[in-house]
């Protein structure tokens, strides 16, 4: 049973004429007759009494309710798809790693809300690996994360490289490692480490680096907020390996300092990830273009200050994302 058969059946039912049904549908009368005949052949019963006026048979009367329901549902679906194609979606959901959410995302949020004020923008701060999982599960439309090629290697994934940044050591200003301009990995391994929780790409990156150096990672605590990292590190002998952008305002805190590693400088690549089918939706495509333009520009000119003096959290609260 095909949709055009049901549409022809409904047109004849409402006009009570094969000729008028053909005029309504913009086809020939023979086409309407052929659609109805093929429908009757599938049902094994006639749906019309073919007299001066087309009148429903018992079978046709039984079919009428369901045919109307099916055609109505199809019309609703077509309308929804057209709205989606035009960018009239109710919301856009994005998962973002914390450092990007806090320091790089505000200009993107402002521009997107200006361009699509009717789209509810929902931003969730997640670890990279977790963010990629919810993207693959269809719970978000895009993710800005530390690249994990094992999770983004699918042909349906679109990955845009945004920037690469060094990973540096955060420590108390009085820490023994602060005497180094660059800290050897062998020296770093002598001290306890505060690391990100499982599901954060940074934890995986740090673990892999220690393994490559044939060194033991002395992890004593797992955290998931930058403020918690700072609070722990400044009060003890523990250190933390963090991306440079996450420590942009550390210079204002005299109790903390940072050092790079030597001889190998660890880096991470930050990427935007979405799926190919989502790029057919205008708001998602626009968000992608904004991210590729504004975040790359902001990273290039990054000077350790929050953009425009505002954090992403304050923007989210102000715009009720």
Helix/strand/coil for 81: helix
Residue range 248-296, pLDDT digits in tens? 778 788 999 999 998 888 999 999 999 998 988 889 999 999 999 988 7
Span 3-85 CATH architecture: Orthogonal Bundle (1.10)
Give the pLDDT score at 248. Answer: 76
Give the pLDDT score at 46. Answer: 93
- Residue 98 pLDDT > 80: yes
**What are the tokens at 159?**
């990955």
Query: What percentage of the chain carries pLDDT values higher than 70?
Result: 90
What is the full DSSP assignment across 258-283? Answer: EEEEESSPPEEEEEEEEEGGGGGSHH
Give the pLDDT score at 219. Answer: 94
Contacts 24+ apart (CB under 8 A), 45-49: 47/9, 48/12
Give the pLDDT score at 311. Answer: 39
Residue range 111-164, pLDDT digits in tens? 999 999 988 899 998 888 899 999 999 999 999 999 988 888 888 999 999 999
Helix/strand/coil for 120: strand
- pLDDT, averaged across the chain: 86
CATH no. of 164-268? 3.40.190.290
Query: What percentage of the chain carries pLDDT values higher than 90?
Result: 55
The DSSP 8-state label assigned to residue 247 in this structure reads G
- The overall longest dimension of the chain from CA atoms, in Å, is 102
Using CA atoms, how far residue 37 sits from 34, 58, 207, in Å, is 5, 16, 70
- Whole-angstrom Cα distance, residue 75 to residue 102? 43
Output phi, psi for 172, to 5 deg. Answer: -65, 145
pTM of the model: 0.69
28 falls in which pLDDT band (50, 70, 90)? Answer: very high
| CATH code 1.10.10.10 region(s) in the chain | 3-85
CB 141 within 8 A of CB 240: no
Region 207-236 average pLDDT: 91
The yes/no answer on whether domain 94-161+274-319 falls in CATH 3.40.190.10 is: yes
Region 56-61 average pLDDT: 90
Give the pLDDT score at 104. Answer: 85
| CATH code 3.40.190.290 region(s) in the chain | 164-268
Q: What b-and-e string marks burial along 136-154, b requiring 16 or more CB atoms within 10 Å of the CB?
A: beeebbbbbbbbbeebbee
- Residue 308 pLDDT > 90: no
Helix/strand/coil for 209: helix
| CATH code 3.40.190.10 region(s) in the chain | 94-161+274-319
């Amino acid at each position: 049973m095909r949709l055009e058969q049901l549409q022809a059946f409904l047109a004849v039912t409402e006009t009570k004429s094969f000729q008028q049904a053909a005029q309504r549908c913009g086809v020939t009368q023979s086409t309407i007759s052929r659609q109805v005949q093929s429908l009757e052949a599938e049902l094994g019963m006639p749906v019309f009494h073919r007299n001066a006026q087309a009148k429903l048979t018992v079978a046709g009367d039984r079919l009428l309710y369901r045919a109307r329901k099916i055609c109505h549902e199809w019309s609703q679906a077509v309308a929804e798809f057209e709205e989606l194609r035009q960018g009239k979606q109710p919301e856009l959901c994005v998962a973002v790693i914390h450092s990007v959410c806090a320091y790089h995302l505000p200009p993107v949020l402002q521009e997107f809300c200006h361009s699509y004020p009717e789209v509810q923008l929902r931003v969730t701060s997640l670890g990279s690996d977790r963010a990629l999982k919810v993207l693959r599960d269809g719970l978000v439309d895009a993710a800005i994360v530390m690249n994990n090629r094992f999770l983004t290697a699918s042909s349906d994934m679109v990955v845009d490289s945004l920037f690469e940044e060094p990973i540096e050591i955060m420590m108390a200003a009085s820490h023994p490692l602060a005497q180094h301009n660059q800290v050897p990995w062998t020296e770093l391994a002598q001290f306890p480490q505060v690391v990100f929780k499982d599901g954060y790409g940074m934890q995986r990156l740090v673990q892999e680096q220690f393994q490559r150096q044939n060194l033991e990672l002395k992890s004593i605590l797992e955290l998931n907020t930058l403020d918690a990292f700072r609070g722990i590190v400044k009060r003890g002998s523990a250190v933390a390996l963090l991306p440079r952008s996450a420590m942009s305002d550390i210079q204002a805190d005299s109790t903390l300092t940072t050092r790079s590693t030597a001889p190998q400088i660890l880096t991470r690549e930050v990427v935007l990830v979405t799926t190919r089918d989502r790029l057919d939706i205008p708001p998602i495509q626009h968000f992608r273009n904004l991210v590729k333009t504004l975040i790359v520009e902001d990273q290039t000119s990054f000077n350790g200050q929050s953009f425009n003096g505002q954090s992403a959290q304050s923007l989210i609260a102000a715009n009720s994302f």
